[in-house]
Structure 1
């Protein structure tokens, strides 16, 4: 990222992310060794300190890197959309906060939250949006 010319970002259609990506790459060079020792919310907090990286991006990156999807933002639009698609009859709230509360309430342990979130993200996009005929 740091060595790419500006036109490479434009060609890849990510010019709007150029500053954030370079900031993250620079921070990685400075902090990678320490970050590798961090787990859970400590990594999210450290990544959130990167200039031009918001808390949502930090949480998603940490969830992906650690494989700990209990860190994934529970109010995320993608998660909400895929959950509604995967379980249309579950009566899940649409709004961010009520959805996040319900999503957390369905799980008794972080391992269950991790599994529910990862499964929804992985398989929700494959759920049919067309109702199947009654058999």
Structure 2
């Protein structure tokens, strides 16, 4: 499918000369996701590398129907249609949100990739090696010293608590309604509303469930409309954002984050 932009917020996306690459686990199948840049936009594809099964879901959000103040919606409309792959792996979505807790996106990306390359599954592709995040079993077995060595000491307890919960209840959690899942994962020690919301949004692409008053959304909203008097506090920003977006809350939030990822320009070049 051809889109104008692809949302590459997940740290598993690797930059390439012609776009971006990522491997994902869906059940027993490992998929290679590719986004190739061309003059008309990005051509997206999913190819199974092991086994066969249901394809990961790419959803496309079209900003042409966005309603709201011009200073906010016009830049999003100009950016065009954004494609985002749902994360088909509950464990990876939960672990990724834990890695992203508190720290900035760039640091989370480095930690996620280092942890994956050290203890995750190596996947050989025609474009070179890629890695999956370590399994829940692996995370549970790692000693405290190894987390410290990799700069992940402050992530050890939440990751291991989540790994234990996933191994015990993962099948049940995967079948829950998104709203119930968001509540249920918060029963895991050290998993709060931000982590739960980010996890469910990654799995479903419903960004009305994302913590839409977080620093990332506030930062890019201010960049989109710097002349607007945005509230400083999260609760006040959340109320304003919800009122502005209305029934388009998911689209507003996803498109704003995608616009931010695109403009952050944090990814380096690599060979495709």
Q: Deviations over 1:72-129 (max 9, x none)?
A: 11321222112112221333222212210110001231xx11111111112124169x
Match of 2:209 among 65, 71, 74: 71
Quote the residue 1:33 is aligned against: 171
Q: More relative contact order in 1 or in 2 (CA 8 Å, sep 6+)? A: 2
Aligned pairs, number: 126
Partners of 2:161 and 2:182 lie apart in 1 by 16
- Aligned residue for 1:5? 143
* Matching residue within 117, 123, 132 for 2:259: 123
- RMSD (Å), alpha carbons: 1.8
Q: Identify the residue that residue 96 of structure 1 maps to in structure 2.
A: 234
Going by fraction, where is strand more abundant, 1 or 2?
Answer: 2
Instruction: For structure 1, list consecutive stretches of 5 or more residues without a partner in the other structure.
Output: 129-135
Give 3-state SS (helix, strand or coil) of 1:52's partner. Answer: coil
- Residue 70 of structure 1, CA deviation: 0.6
1:41 Cα deviation from its structure 2 partner = 1.7
Give the counterpart of 1:82 among 216, 220, 228.
220
Structure 2: any 5+ residue segments left out of the alignment? 1-138, 266-272
**Which TM-score applies when normalising by structure 2?**
0.44
Aligned with 2:246: secondary structure? coil
CA distance in 1, matches of 2:228, 2:249: 16
* Aligned counterparts of 2:226 and 2:177: Cα–Cα separation in 1: 34
Q: Which has the higher helix share?
A: 1
How far off its partner does 1:7 sit?
Answer: 2.4
Partner of 1:34, secondary structure, is: helix
Q: What is the distance in 2 between the residues matched to 1:39 and 1:61?
A: 13
CA offset digits 1:32-65 (Å, max 9, x no partner): 1111111222111011010121121111111112
The residue that corresponds to 2:157 in the other structure is 19
Equivalent in the alignment of 2:113 = none
Measured in 2, the distance between the counterparts of 1:6 and 1:20 equals: 12
For the 8 Å contact 1:60–1:71, the answer to whether it is kept is yes
